[in-house]
Structure formats: structure tokens, C-alpha cells
Structure 1
Amino acid sequence: MSVSGGRVSVGHPAHHRTRSRLNPQAYLATTGRILRQLAADHRSLAMILVVPSAVIALMYFMFADLPHRPGTPAPFDNACLIMLGVFPLIMMFLITSITMQRERVSGTLERILTTPLRRFDLLAAYGTAFSVAAAAQATLACVISFWLLGLHTEGSPALVFLIAIVNAVLGVGLGLLCSAFARTEFQAVQFMPVVIAPQLLLCGIVVPRDALPDWLQWISNAMPASYALEALRMVGAHPDLTSTAARDIAVVVAFAVVAMGLAAATLRRRTP
């Protein structure tokens, strides 16, 4: 701040927030506020909790009477495993990117960033809140799939639950990252065909990865959804955690961490 006769440095907290440590009170307050907003938004809550489970139930009735060879997984088991990996990624990407853009446009994000809460701490609060929502989504979807619809996997259901949560956290990270480049909520939604659709096409759902041309296999190997789906298939086919599944889970976690870090680095106060 400039005054008559010279310049005086004012130690405003906002000037030093980049060097402060995590403020537990501000972090918990921000996390609680986001969770309360999600709980009050009934449409978002329905998208997170009800829609995935309803679609999985619909798939159960679609595949219930389809014949399959003895000794091979039932068609519903294959389809349900794919949905348990795909839904958390898609739904949390949409909810996170739209909510973050809404915070920016409304000015809430700008007001928060005038406090001592650092950008990375703010992203940690958003990541925590949406990860809690993701855990609730994965829990409900897995309970309905395994205990009500009879989903069978050779591996532990706990591993399927873990991979579903990791995929949801990845969706949160990608949603936070993409929201930094959108100016409206509609633009945030438009990132889905750019970020999510190629992963779904190349992860092995439509065409097996080893049947793709070499150059598409290279692109597929650089996409986290490929490793998430491979991990789920390993759990579905093997009773124990294989080294391939462990590696795939670690790769998806690494992608989620990198996405969170990039989101913190590109966070802007509001859309110009």
C-alpha cells in the first residue's frame, strides 16, 4: 500500500496464503458447505445416487433371460462391471464441472479466494466433498448390484467398490480441471465428449484394445479409463488381486492426483 512519504508493506493474510499451511477450519468449513449444497440440490443428488442404480437395475432385466455358455460369465455380470466403472467417472465429471462453474459465475469462488484458504486447499475441499458423494454413489450401486441383483465376480466385491470410488475421484479431478477452461455451465458440459467419450470408445468396451490399430492402442494406453476397465475385468475373472489389477488401480490413482494438481494450478477466481 502506498502512502505519503514512502511505501508501507501491509501483511494482509491474502498476500501470504500461498505460503501458509492447510487451514483445517477453513478446509472443513468449505467441505461442509459443499456437502450441504449437494444435499439441498435434489436433482444433483438424484443424478449421483439414483440414476446409476436405476440404470443398472434396468440392465439386469434386459440381460436376465439372455442365454450364455456354461462356465462363462453371465451377460449381466460383464455389463454391470462395465457400468460400475463407467458411471462414477461420467456422473462425477458432470456434477463436479457444473458445480465448480456455478461457484465461479456466482462469485462464491472469488469471495473464498480472498480468505487465507489456498487454491490447493480449496481444491482439496472440493475434492473431499465430491469424493464423499462418490463413495455414497459407489456404495449404493455396489450394494444393489451384488446383494439385490446377484452380480457375481471371482474377486472380492470390496475391490470392485474400491475401483468404483477411484474412478469417481478421477471424474472429480477431471471435472475440476475442465471447469477452469469453461465460461458457462453449458461449456463445462461440452467438455464431456472431448474428455470422456474418447476414453469410453478406446478403453475396450466397443472394440478390444488389442484389436485396435497400433496408433489407437498407444492413445488408449494414455487414457485412465482403459486401466480402470482392465482392473475391473481382472477382479471379475480372478479370485485374488493380480499384479495387473494392482498396477491398473495405481495408474488410475496417479491420473486422479495429477488431475487435481493441474486443477489447482489452473484455478481462476471467476470467468472473465
Structure 2
Amino acid sequence: MTTPLTCYTATTGRILRQLRADRRTVAMLVLVPTLLLALLYFVYRDMPSMPGMPTLFDRVGISMLGILPFIVMFLITAIAMQRERTSGTLERLMTTPLSKLDLLAGYGSAFSLAATVQAAVACLVAFWLLGMHAAGSVWLVLLIAVLDAVLGVALGLLASAFARTEFQAVQFMPLIVGPQFFLCGLLVPRGQLPRWLEVISDVLPLSYAVDALQQVSRYTGATAVMWRDLGIVAVFALVALTLGAATLRRRTA
């Protein structure tokens, strides 16, 4: 008898095998955030900083360790899921005992494993090759970066449920990612935003991810605020995954 656990693990294994066979996608997953961080380092390398204060690269770069995996995983997940739909693979899968939640959970797990590798490589390069400094533990930065990437996976799966083509899936990126990038506190501290924009930023998950990274940047240990922010990000990811399962169409047309 086919159990939900069997369906879930089979889906996860299938997606991981597909990823392993697609070397260009793997290269994009692993290398793009790292290369962009390296570019950011050279942009800010010669910028002056106050004695005893973090450099501009330290302040901006640690936030980008969460933002870049989020963006990359959102884009790749949305396109990959939409490709399953347009190729007819999704419709064939839905004729099996595989449930919608099993399917999306399998996708989420497979891409989350890829996100862990992505975040680990980015943190390794940032802290040990580019000299990034943070008051807190690198392991906390890695944990937050992985959770941000998982959030990108969940929102990518949700966005793909409303798209009919891969191009439409990409079009959701400026709608979902753009406002979060502008209002997360990276460009302007959220407390300095106009009140109506601050209210919007308070309901966007990337704001809490950036806040958690800033907590690690400033404090030597894990703070209650950091754990609260991580909990909020995790809840957003679970809600997005659940909504994605509820709105997933069984037919491609």
C-alpha cells in the first residue's frame, strides 16, 4: 500500500535527481549568490568606515546573505514547478495516490536541501574569503539564510499555482519579491519609512528575515527578537506552502 510518506520521499528523490542532472541549474543555485556577494565586496571595498564600526560591506552584505538565496530560490522554484505543469508531468502525477501536499512538500524538501548547500557556500565565501564580520555566530547566519531560501521556495511554489506559463511565473517576481526588497530595511531603516510603508513592511516576511540577520550582526548571542523573527518567517513559509497545495490545479488547462 502506498503511504503519504512513500509518496513524499519518492517526490523528493525525483526532484533531487532532476536537479543533479541539470548542471546549469545547480551552478545557478550554488554560484549566483556567491558571485553577487563577491561583486558587492569589490563595490564597497574602498568605502571608508568609522573606526570600531562595521564596514559598509559588513552591514549590507549580511542582509544580502538572506536576500539573495530568497530571490534565487523563488525564481528557480516557480519556473521548475511551472515546467512540471506545462510538460504534463504534474497532471500525470495527480492521477496517482500522490496528494497535492505530498507533491509540494517533496518539492519544498528537495529545493530546501539545495538551498542549504547554496547558503553554506555563500556564508563560507563571505566570512572566510571576503572577510565579512558579525558579532554573532556564523552558524546563526547560516540558519537564517537557509530559512530565507526555504521561504523563497514556498513563495515560488505558491506563485506557480497562479501561472499558466513559465513567463507568467517569472512575472510574479517583481510583484512578490520587489516590494519586499525595497521595504525590508536594506535600503532605508524600516523605522524611517513613511508610516503607511512601514505598516506594509510589517506584513512582509523578508522584513523579519533581514531584522534577524541584523540581530546576529550586532549581538554576540542569539536574541529573543531574532528567534521571534525566525518564527515569523517559518510561519510565512508554512502558510505559503499550504496555500500552494490548496490552489494547485489538477489540470494544466
List, as ranges, runs of 4+ consecutive aligned residues in structure 1 with deviation greater than 3 Å. none
Q: Which has the larger radius of gyration?
A: 1
Per the TM alignment, residue 198 of structure 1 is displaced from its structure 2 partner at its CA by: 0.4
Per the TM alignment, residue 32 of structure 1 is displaced from its structure 2 partner at its CA by: 1.2
1:194 corresponds, among 172, 175, 180, to 175
Verify: 1:151 aligned to 2:137, yes or no.
no
Taking the TM superposition and a 5 Å limit, the aligned residue runs for 1:87-236 are: 87-236=68-217
Identity %: 57
Q: Deviations over 1:42-70 (max 9, x none)?
A: 22112110111111112222222221001
Residue 21 of structure 2: aligned partner: 40
Per the TM alignment, residue 74 of structure 1 is displaced from its structure 2 partner at its CA by: 1.1
Matches of 1:250 and 1:109 in 2, distance apart? 31
Aligned length: 253
TM-align CA RMSD:
1.3
Matches of 1:87 and 1:270 in 2, distance apart? 33
Q: Contact between 2:33 and 2:122, CA under 8 Å: does it hold in 1?
A: yes
Matches of 1:220 and 1:110 in 2, distance apart? 37
Verify: 1:86 aligned to 2:71, yes or no.
no
1:75 corresponds, among 56, 62, 66, to 56
Matches of 2:46 and 2:95 in 1, distance apart? 59
Per the TM alignment, residue 21 of structure 1 is displaced from its structure 2 partner at its CA by: 5.4
Q: Deviations over 1:200-237 (max 9, x none)?
A: 11111122111111111111100001100011001000
Name structure 2 gaps, 5 residues minimum.
none
Q: Contact between 2:60 and 2:186, CA under 8 Å: does it hold in 1?
A: no
2:222 corresponds, among 241, 255, 267, to 241
Residue 252 of structure 1: aligned partner: 233
Matches of 1:67 and 1:140 in 2, distance apart? 28
Q: Contact between 1:105 and 1:270, CA under 8 Å: does it hold in 2?
A: no
User: Aligned with 2:96: secondary structure?
Assistant: coil
Give 1:241's aligned amino acid: A
Matches of 2:39 and 2:183 in 1, distance apart? 25
Q: Contact between 1:90 and 1:196, CA under 8 Å: does it hold in 2?
A: yes
Q: Contact between 2:91 and 2:252, CA under 8 Å: does it hold in 1?
A: no
Matches of 2:95 and 2:147 in 1, distance apart? 32
Q: Deviations over 1:50-101 (max 9, x none)?
A: 1111111122222222210011101111121121011111000000000000
Normalised TM-score (structure 2): 0.97
Matches of 2:251 and 2:69 in 1, distance apart? 27
Normalised TM-score (structure 1): 0.90
Q: Contact between 2:88 and 2:252, CA under 8 Å: does it hold in 1?
A: no
